[in-house]
């Protein structure tokens, strides 16, 4: 606490004085004046935070910590998915031996599918589309 203190007369309501007397020792304050000083500082900081649409420092710090953990986990997960996808693409390209024109057509169709489904493409929906649009009577292997 600063040694350059100014005297300020404060006359609390009886209920407020009772709260100060009840809580100043529980807050490890040496005096009721110290408790009042801490309470006013806390309230002023709270008003400032609410006026500036800012979170109190403790909440902000906790959220930042949690976000860093989430970012680390998502980065790791994204890397693992990229590795698995690269393996899958490599296997398929080795087996299918697709030419450039077919790849361009497939990429355009995939972009269209992702846009239409807002990125919620699934193998089940793709198979269902195939079943609905395919006329199995046209295939030679069924005859």
With helix as H, strand as E and coil as C, how does 108-121 read?
HHHHHHHHHHCCCC
Largest CA distance in the chain: 103
> What is the C-alpha separation between 134 and 44, in angstroms, rounded?
70
> What is the C-alpha separation between 113 and 125, in angstroms, rounded?
11
What are the E-state strand segments in the chain?
none
Residues 103 and 72 in one domain: no
Give the alpha-carbon dihedral of 115, 101, 96, 85, to 10 degrees.
-40
Q: Is residue 2 part of a domain?
A: no
Residues 45 and 20 in one domain: yes
Q: Is residue 7 part of a domain?
A: no
For residue 42, the enclosing domain spans: 14-54
Return the structure tokens found at 71: 């970012």
% of the chain with per-residue pLDDT over 70: 85
**How far is C-alpha 118 from the geometric centre of its chain's CA atoms?**
19
> Can you tell me whether residue 33 is helix, strand or coil?
helix
Residue 32's CB is within 10 A of a number of other CB atoms, namely 16
Residues 47 and 20 in one domain: yes
Q: Average pLDDT of 2-20? A: 87
Q: Is residue 5 part of a domain?
A: no
Confidence of residue 134 (pLDDT cuts 50, 70, 90): low
Could you give the number of structural domains in the chain? 3
The 10s digit of each residue's pLDDT in 93-127 is 889 888 889 889 988 988 888 888 888 878 887 77
The 10s digit of each residue's pLDDT in 33-61 is 999 999 999 888 878 776 655 566 778 78
Q: Is residue 109 part of a domain?
A: yes
Q: Is the pLDDT of residue 129 over 80?
A: no
Q: Is residue 1 part of a domain?
A: no
Q: Is residue 139 part of a domain?
A: no
Residues 92 and 106 in one domain: no
Residues 76 and 105 in one domain: no
Residues 103 and 130 in one domain: yes
Return the structure tokens found at 110: 């995939």
Q: Is residue 142 part of a domain?
A: no
Residue with tokens 């109190």: 56
Number of Cα atoms under 13 Å in the Cβ half of residue 29: 18
Q: Is residue 3 part of a domain?
A: no
Residues 19 and 36 in one domain: yes
Q: In the prediction, which pLDDT does 45 show?
A: 82
Residues 19 and 39 in one domain: yes
Residues 73 and 47 in one domain: no
């Amino acid at each position: 606490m600063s040694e350059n203190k100014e005297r300020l007369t404060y006359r609390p309501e009886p209920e407020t004085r009772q709260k100060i007397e009840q809580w100043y020792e529980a807050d490890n304050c040496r005096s009721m004046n110290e408790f009042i000083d801490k309470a006013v500082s806390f309230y002023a900081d709270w008003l400032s935070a609410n006026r500036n649409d800012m979170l109190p420092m403790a909440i902000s710090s906790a959220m930042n910590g949690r976000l860093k953990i989430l970012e680390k986990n998502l980065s790791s997960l994204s890397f693992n998915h990229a590795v698995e996808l690269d393996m899958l693409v490599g296997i398929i390209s080795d087996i299918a031996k697709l030419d450039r024109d077919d790849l361009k057509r497939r990429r355009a169709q995939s972009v269209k599918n992702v846009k239409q489904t807002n990125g919620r493409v699934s193998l089940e929906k793709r198979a269902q589309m195939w079943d609905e649009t395919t006329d199995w009577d046209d295939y030679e292997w069924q005859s």
